Chain A
Amino acid sequence: MQVTIILAAVTLLVFVALLLVFLSRVRAGKSPKLRRIAAFERLHRFNSRAIESGRPLHLSLGTGSTIDASTADSLAGLSVLEHLAERAAVTGVQPTVSMSDPTVMLFAQNTLRAAQSADPQQAADAYQHVRWIAPQPAAYAAGVMSLFSVDRVQSNVMVGKFGDEYLLMGEAAAQQGITQIGGASDPNTLPFIYTTAQETLLGEEIYAAGAYLQKRPAHIGSLLAQDTMRWLIFLLMLGGIILATLRG
């Protein structure tokens, strides 16, 4: 137990050190070239199509919360919303945003309002585009499925925490010919995303939204820290395998 705690503390400290180092490097202008993620590129096209058609883009922030273990997933979805809200402030076509947790709703409202801060009337209208549907996953999925037809949604983006209800929403959108981007961290949800969405954000890719869409130094720095940590873990595992093999 004590060893686990010490190991966790050391890992955290190494992570913090790496994050600070990479953050200062990125802020100094040493930004790396990020690999291509098709889903983020497609998101820009979704925006354009929503403007051309006059039909809204729907963003689902999932069934996660901001006060439990799913907070990181919800924040990833909110990063996507921030990007869409900034674009909406320029184009005037607001995305429709839905979620099942009321605390996420508050963050979503704040994000939309902040993006429209230059125009108080538009900021007030932005609240109408945030829909808290229901706290239960089944009821939430039912609400979103109805929203697709009632709001005549043009494109659908779902990034956050999802369970089995993802398939209900994703398949309903696919059957209506709505183009989709799906992203989740739960490996059990990924097959549903793969079979229903045109572009996918698998696992940790959802956490890269801030780095790819807003090019924020903190997000790019943390992406580099994540990659370095991954290599460290990989080398540790490799070393462990070699040691265990040599010991017989």
Chain B
Amino acid sequence: MTKPGRILATAVAVIAGLFVLADMFIARLPVAGLGNLQRAVSGTSFLLVSWAAIIFAFALFLGFYNVVSVHVKQIRANKPEAIYSIVLLVSLAATLLVGFWGGPNGAGSQFIFDYILQPLEATFFALLALFIATAAFRAFRVHNLESFFFVLFAVIVLLGQVPLGIYLWSEFPIIKDWILNVPTMAGVRGILLGVALGTIATGLRVLLAADRPYTD
């Protein structure tokens, strides 16, 4: 990117960001006489946010090109996995054709969504149960103090959740609730506070043009 291009990109990003941020504050201030300013800032902010949706749509086209080019290259390389790339490209073309033919809400698109995409997604996410078990099996090995506490708390929470635990000791559900509501909640709130500060810092760096991920 040339120097003027970099300056222009930075100016656009900073001004757009400041408008959207200003909308958060100015539009909510109940001060008389600010009506025109509030409307102008809100209108501009809304317009800028709408443009983001348009940019997303264009980016989707480029994403489409990326998928096609990567898989065409795999087929040309004649790799053993090329068959999967062929299946992907054929499915992509078929879905596109069905979409163009009957529209995104047409019977064909709906059929693909209801009887192919959704069941596949559900089946895939059902693997989570198995994966949780295998991940837990690996994680429940005590090799240091940290993992000892991890296993200890996990076992107590597990016993507090299942009828067997209650049968063994009626206090398990109470201890489980305490673990979830006191130390876990405190940890989660600490993490969320840190994340909020990190997010603000990232946003401010972009707004102050100290961080310019949109330029070279």
Which A positions have Cβ atoms within 8 angstroms of B?
A: 1-2, 5, 8-9, 12, 15-16, 19-20, 23, 65, 67, 71-72, 75-76, 78, 101-103, 105-107, 110-111, 113-114, 117, 127-128, 130-133, 135-136, 138-139, 141-142, 146, 150, 164, 167-168, 170-171, 174-175, 185, 187, 190, 192, 194-196, 202-204, 206-208, 210, 216, 218-219, 221-223, 225-226, 229-230, 233
Contact = CB atoms under 8 A, between A and B. Distances in A.
Contact of B191 (A1, A130, A142, A202): A202
Contacts of A131: 66, 70
B194 A219 contact: no
Contact of B29 (A2, A170, A230): A2
20 contacts: A12-B200, A106-B59, A128-B70, A131-B66, A132-B62, A135-B60, A146-B81, A150-B84, A168-B131, A171-B134, A175-B134, A187-B192, A194-B139, A204-B191, A207-B202, A218-B205, A221-B210, A225-B201, A226-B201, A230-B194
A67 B56 contact: yes
Which 3 pairs across A and B sit closest by C-beta, in order of nearness? A204-B194, A207-B198, A102-B63
Contact of A72 (B25, B67, B188, B199): B199
Size band of the interface chain B makes with A: 35 or more
Contacts of B30: 2
Contacts of B127: 168
Contacts of A110: 214, 216
A175 B137 CA distance: 12
A207 B201 contact: yes
Contacts of B194: 203-204, 226, 230
A187 B188 contact: yes
